[in-house]
Structure 1
Amino acid sequence: MLHWFPTPYPDELLYSVLARYHVWSGNTSPKMTIGELFGKRTVRSVWDLPANLNALLSELGSYWDADQLINNHTMFPYYAAFLLPKQAKQVKKSMLDGDGSTIHTRIGVAASNVKVKTNLWACSDCIIEDMETYGETYWRRVHQAHGVFVCPRHGKVLEETTVSVKAQNQHEFIVATPDVERTKIRLDGLNKEEIQLLFDISKETDSLLNNTRLQANDNTIRSKYLELLKQKGYASVNGMVKRDRVYQSFGAKFSDRSLELLQSSVMFEETDWLTMIFQKHRKSFHPLRHLLVMMFLETDLDHLFGKKEYQPFGKGPWLCLNAACPNHRKPVIKELTVTICYDTRKPVGTFHCDCGFVFSRRGPDKNKDDQYRVGTIKEYGHVWKAKLTELVNEGYSLTEIAKEMQADRATIKKYAAELELKVPWKLPKVQKKEVNEPLEGFETQLNERKNKWLNLQEEYLDKSKTELRKMVPDVYAFLYRNDRDWLNEFSPVKKRIQTPNKRVDWEKRDNELLKQVKKVVQTWDKDADKPTKITTSSIGKKLNELPLLQKKADKLPQTMEYINKVSEDTVSFQKRRVEFTIEKLKKENEPILEWKIYKKAGLRPTVSNEVKRLITLRTTEYETVKE
């Protein structure tokens, strides 16, 4: 049994603890250290998921706990959270026992295309703090995790050391030192959002390592994913994932450059990891990719592992915001319907109060003040209308009623007209509604048509919204008239054309596009009735390449340099309009007069002095030539 052993530091790898033991014990041979620690000299040094821990614990004595050692000082929590329960149990058993040969194969690292870091990484600020606090530094777990390029504590870009994770001597533990040779990781060219993504990943990785979580069953995480996909409109009510929407939104959230850096690029294929991670989990997926999916679905680890439910508007009951209700601003609403905004994909809550007041707002709520916010009032209800009638009958003015009811004057006039109230102000004309059937019958018809529309989409997965509309024009028309928001939310989105899965030669693309742009500019406004301002937008529209110029400008340096050179400001465009108008007047044999130039060119008398001088100069030249 060992009589002394270093106390592990926060988040220190067990590998680092054993390396410090080797240095402080004064042993000259790595095998001598291995023999003292494990009672045998055949154990290999493994930095992330070491085995033979029972042998080590027997040498350390009863003070040390296996779970504490594994959960706090190895990479086990990082992988175990996303393993199937049986897998996690087997990995832990292998770490405690003497056979560690199957560990990396079992967790999927060996077959994963997310490759491990080849050397150990460090943070220069952490090293400085360690030397001031402990008088020595150490290897931290979080810095070695895949996808972690930034220190979660200091927000500083990490540095790669020359210490290999596979030392030449397979029994050697290499200690961290403040003067270890290291190179700062280059993240040149990343924008603010991409850098923030890397910082978020490092924070979530740190949380993953320091809070051991295990799935309750084989589909704990997959079920949570499916729940969130439905809430965000990425899956049907029956659980069918809308892959085109997922890939479109995923690509919009994470840049190609970020995904390539994180070794998690996606392709619209059945075997792609982003497709398979939402299916029943029969194999392991890398924790880094789970973190990306988690960020995409705007959730966190606590929700994934069942510690809290997804509640974008908090826990009910919710406040009634009807100014006429006796329960105004009191938590009495128990009915809440959550849908997804068609444009932003954010949750929209529709609140129904017993007073008849129905309102909605876009979420999620970020602070307490949001619960007092009304986005759209869908129905004022019987209590509000009764209060309006009461105030009108008591002779209150329009301004007083609007203030009391917390509604604008136009709304008060509209409902006063619908209720046929006698008021001293002018009312708008309101077309009376003919009720041909009870509300219950209407709701039944609406739900029937909604179900038919959803079933049609599931039957014809490849059909677009327009194609489905032609198949059932009566269903589409009914939903469009009566619940347009729902129709927009639960219709197929326009599919992007899938390009071949090969890297774009941007230099070649830049050269080709530059030729097209030059050609367009050279013939600009040729045979046109009136001139068009030369801008990036107008050039892009003429070439039908506006999205490319807007979103990939950084990849088209030559083209953008030329466009910036020929683009016109307001004065330049006005001067060209003057020249264009003069040439047109000459062709039509009309006199070149100042007032005609202003009128034909669409210029105001308030144009800049530079433009005024040009007009005066051109008219004077014309008069001189004429004489």
Structure 2
Amino acid sequence: MLLWFPTPYPDELLYSVFARYHVRSGNTSPKMTTEELFGKRTIRSVWDLPANLNTLLSRMGSYWDGDNLIFNHTMYSYYAAFLLPKQAEQVKKSMMGNKGITIHTRIGVSASNVKTKTNLWVCSDCIKEDMDKYGETYWHRIHQAPGVFICPKHETILEETTVSTKTENQHEYVIATPFIERTRVNLDGLQKEELQLLLKIAQITESLLTNSHLQTQDNTIREKYVELLKQKGFASPNGFVKRDKLYQSFTSKFSDRCLELLQSPVLFEETNWLTMIFQKHRKSFHPIRHILVMLFLETDLDHLFNKEQYHPFGKGPWLCLNVACPNYHKPVVTSLTITRCYDTGKPVGTFRCDCGFVFSRRGPDKNSNDRYRIGTIKEYGKVWKDKLTELVNEGYSLTDISKELQTERATIKKYAAELGLKVPWKLPKIEKDNPKELLEQYEDQLAERKNKWLELQELYPEKSKTELRKMAPDVYAFLYRNDRDWLNKYSPSKKRIQPPKQRVNWDKRDKEILKMVKEVVRTWDLGAEKPTRITKTSIGKKINQLSLLEKKGDKLPKTMNYISQVEESLESFQMRRVEFVIEKLKQEEQPIIEWQIYKKAGLRPTISNEVKRFISLKVTEYETVNKKHV
């Protein structure tokens, strides 16, 4: 049993609590501290997602609670929010038990392209505040999360310390002090909007850590994403994602510089994270990428983790807003159609009452008063027209009728003329050859043609305004006559004029691409932490010409011939990994042992005999050279 244990501070890493215990206990070795905490010396001091908590709790006494330690003093809340329910539960069990080796694999961190911070980070303002309040400082969780470069509390840029989080330091407990060596993170050159984005990410990350958000069913977040994509026009009604439009809008919202900083670059390809995150979640996606999608779709954590569906106008039935209807201001409307506003992307609700009154308004409703609001009246209906006829026949004045029906005088005149009512005031002229239906449905016809024009652009994004005009001349002509400004605003912009039928000089292109390929192969894996396999796909990605190599490879004979010469088979790549590991072991002055090579090179025992012989040969060569020196 532990006789005492430090009380964790708000948002303090459990690792930090252990470090404070280590210093105050007077232990000269961190392994002594580990033995006191866990009963044995082999437990690693993992900073983010520690395990063996059941053992720790059994030695601390009944006062302490496992959920409190996990949710408030580890990074579990940050990662678990976006895991499938079974995954999140398994990770929690692993942390409580002794299966710590599986945790980072389960949450997808090990295989993720988004890497954790290599050192612990701090905020100078938080340090000052901690010292004033507690007389000491500590490691804050929020400062260690990937993608957090700014303190959400003080809005100051964070500083990176020299305290490493790598495996070689996972048997130590380093305490945070106000004098710890640190360097301010360099964010020079970022625009104001980019810094605001980083601040928003830090604020959302803080909310993830402090409020426990967990999925209760598989793919609930993905379903919310698709729902929002539909509302914003990035997916069809059946959920098919319009990738061209999505990628174009996403990259225009977030700069390449910010996406690189957040380790989430966007490439238009099937395996890119932005494509796969909207598919059924069979794998884990890093929280920073979910946060980017949330900001792009203009939603929040409360909406994502709310079990109920998104209702921008509340749940029906809705109020009838026809003043002439006996059910005025009563919840009798059951017909609601939700579309998207072309200008703002916000939801537009069209409400239809049995009295024939049809109206719409742009949402979402923000308060209870919004349900009484009318944006546009699309159809007044029979009940309203009968009431107008009644008021006219009873001799009411134009002003009184306008007040009674809460409608503009011009509208009263228009419908009085259409209904052929005898009134003492002057009516607008209606030409005999102008159909009555045209007046009533003009706005609907205009909206319908606008919708068709936008649909054409979605179906044929590569076509120009002139080409679209030829495909739908009637739609174009109607819009040109009735709303030319809208047509000009929502048409494809003029493309740079190029010579017609310009032919590509493939020989020249082949030489240019070959030069790029040779250069990237020459510097392959230069400065990399681990080697990558040389293939046509990996080369294409590095030179940003994968599509060209895959679709036009037959027109690039010199390039493809060179690639076929330098491409690595699986065995040759495994041998190169072996050489890479051996060279690293030599630099670190560590012994060259077969089992260590297998482990560090990530090779399984099922590798080919040729690779096994290669490893044995290299080990033998090393031993022979060492004997000669001895």
TM-score by length of 2: 0.68
Asked if residue 399 in structure 1 is aligned to residue 399 in structure 2, the reply is yes
Match of residue 11 from structure 1: 11
Secondary structure at the aligned position of 1:101 is classed as: helix
C-alpha contact 2:418 2:436 (8 A) present in aligned 1: no
1:354 is displaced (CA, Å) by 3.0
1:368 is displaced (CA, Å) by 4.1
- Shifted more, 231-240 versus 22-31: the winner is 231-240
Match of residue 602 from structure 2: none
The one-letter code of the counterpart of 2:127 is I
Q: Deviations over 1:182-231 (max 9, x none)?
A: 33334344444333322222222122122333333432222222222222
Match of residue 242 from structure 2: 242
The one-letter code of the counterpart of 1:355 is C
1:75 is displaced (CA, Å) by 0.8
1:156 is displaced (CA, Å) by 3.0
Distance in 1 (alpha carbons) for counterparts of 2:255 and 2:375? 32
Distance in 2 (alpha carbons) for counterparts of 1:30 and 1:495? 66
Match of residue 68 from structure 1: 68
1:430 is displaced (CA, Å) by 2.7
1:18 is displaced (CA, Å) by 0.5
Q: Deviations over 1:502-530 (max 9, x none)?
A: xxxxxxxxxxxxxxxxxxxxxxxxxxxxx
Q: Deviations over 1:110-165 (max 9, x none)?
A: 22222211222222332233223222222121121111222223333323223222
The change in CA–CA distance for 1:456 and 1:409 in structure 2 (over 3 A counts) is closer
Distance in 2 (alpha carbons) for counterparts of 1:296 and 1:251? 10
1:253 is displaced (CA, Å) by 2.6
C-alpha contact 1:44 1:170 (8 A) present in aligned 2: yes
1:286 is displaced (CA, Å) by 0.6
Match of residue 294 from structure 2: 294
C-alpha contact 1:302 1:308 (8 A) present in aligned 2: no
Secondary structure at the aligned position of 1:324 is classed as: coil
C-alpha contact 2:231 2:346 (8 A) present in aligned 1: no
| Number of residues of Structure 1 aligned to a counterpart in Structure 2 | 486
Distance in 1 (alpha carbons) for counterparts of 2:49 and 2:464? 49
Asked if residue 202 in structure 1 is aligned to residue 202 in structure 2, the reply is yes
Asked if residue 88 in structure 1 is aligned to residue 88 in structure 2, the reply is yes
- Shifted more, 161-170 versus 79-88: the winner is 161-170
Secondary structure at the aligned position of 2:79 is classed as: helix
C-alpha contact 1:248 1:496 (8 A) present in aligned 2: no
Secondary structure at the aligned position of 2:101 is classed as: coil
Distance in 2 (alpha carbons) for counterparts of 1:308 and 1:286? 25
The one-letter code of the counterpart of 1:299 is T
The change in CA–CA distance for 1:236 and 1:27 in structure 2 (over 3 A counts) is same
Asked if residue 148 in structure 1 is aligned to residue 148 in structure 2, the reply is yes
The one-letter code of the counterpart of 2:294 is M
Match of residue 539 from structure 1: none
C-alpha contact 2:231 2:345 (8 A) present in aligned 1: no
The one-letter code of the counterpart of 1:107 is I
The change in CA–CA distance for 1:465 and 1:147 in structure 2 (over 3 A counts) is same
The gaps in structure 1 that reach 5 residues or longer are 438-448, 498-627
Match of residue 111 from structure 2: 111
The one-letter code of the counterpart of 2:242 is K
Match of residue 30 from structure 1: 30
The one-letter code of the counterpart of 1:277 is I
The one-letter code of the counterpart of 1:67 is D
Distance in 2 (alpha carbons) for counterparts of 1:458 and 1:31? 63
The one-letter code of the counterpart of 1:77 is S
Runs of 4+ in 1 over 6 A off after TM superposition: 432-437, 449-482, 490-497
Distance in 2 (alpha carbons) for counterparts of 1:56 and 1:249? 49
Secondary structure at the aligned position of 1:102 is classed as: helix
1:281 is displaced (CA, Å) by 1.8
C-alpha contact 1:414 1:430 (8 A) present in aligned 2: no
Secondary structure at the aligned position of 2:222 is classed as: helix
Secondary structure at the aligned position of 2:35 is classed as: helix
The change in CA–CA distance for 1:473 and 1:398 in structure 2 (over 3 A counts) is same
C-alpha contact 2:266 2:274 (8 A) present in aligned 1: yes
Distance in 2 (alpha carbons) for counterparts of 1:109 and 1:466? 50
Match of residue 267 from structure 1: 267
The one-letter code of the counterpart of 2:150 is V
Distance in 2 (alpha carbons) for counterparts of 1:69 and 1:185? 29
1:46 is displaced (CA, Å) by 1.0
1:78 is displaced (CA, Å) by 1.1
- Give the alignment's Cα RMSD to 1 decimal: 4.0
Asked if residue 177 in structure 1 is aligned to residue 177 in structure 2, the reply is yes
Q: Deviations over 1:26-81 (max 9, x none)?
A: 11211111111111111111111112223222222333332222222111121112
Secondary structure at the aligned position of 2:350 is classed as: strand
The one-letter code of the counterpart of 1:401 is I
Match of residue 138 from structure 1: 138
1:369 is displaced (CA, Å) by 4.3
1:427 is displaced (CA, Å) by 1.6
The change in CA–CA distance for 1:216 and 1:401 in structure 2 (over 3 A counts) is same
Secondary structure at the aligned position of 1:224 is classed as: helix
- Shifted more, 472-481 versus 178-187: the winner is 472-481
The gaps in structure 2 that reach 5 residues or longer are 438-448, 498-630
Correspondences of 1:336-415 after superposition (within 5 Å):
336-415=336-415
Q: Deviations over 1:477-523 (max 9, x none)?
A: 999999x9xx99x99999999xxxxxxxxxxxxxxxxxxxxxxxxxx
Give percent identity, aligned residues only. Answer: 77
Correspondences of 1:154-193 after superposition (within 5 Å):
154-166=154-166, 169-193=169-193
C-alpha contact 2:113 2:263 (8 A) present in aligned 1: yes
The one-letter code of the counterpart of 1:158 is L
TM-score by length of 1: 0.68
The change in CA–CA distance for 1:427 and 1:192 in structure 2 (over 3 A counts) is farther
C-alpha contact 1:82 1:285 (8 A) present in aligned 2: yes
The one-letter code of the counterpart of 1:314 is G
C-alpha contact 1:161 1:183 (8 A) present in aligned 2: yes
1:274 is displaced (CA, Å) by 0.5
- Shifted more, 316-325 versus 227-236: the winner is 316-325
Correspondences of 1:568-607 after superposition (within 5 Å):
none
- Shifted more, 412-421 versus 369-378: the winner is 369-378
The change in CA–CA distance for 1:217 and 1:116 in structure 2 (over 3 A counts) is same
C-alpha contact 1:324 1:383 (8 A) present in aligned 2: yes
Asked if residue 219 in structure 1 is aligned to residue 207 in structure 2, the reply is no
Match of residue 258 from structure 1: 258
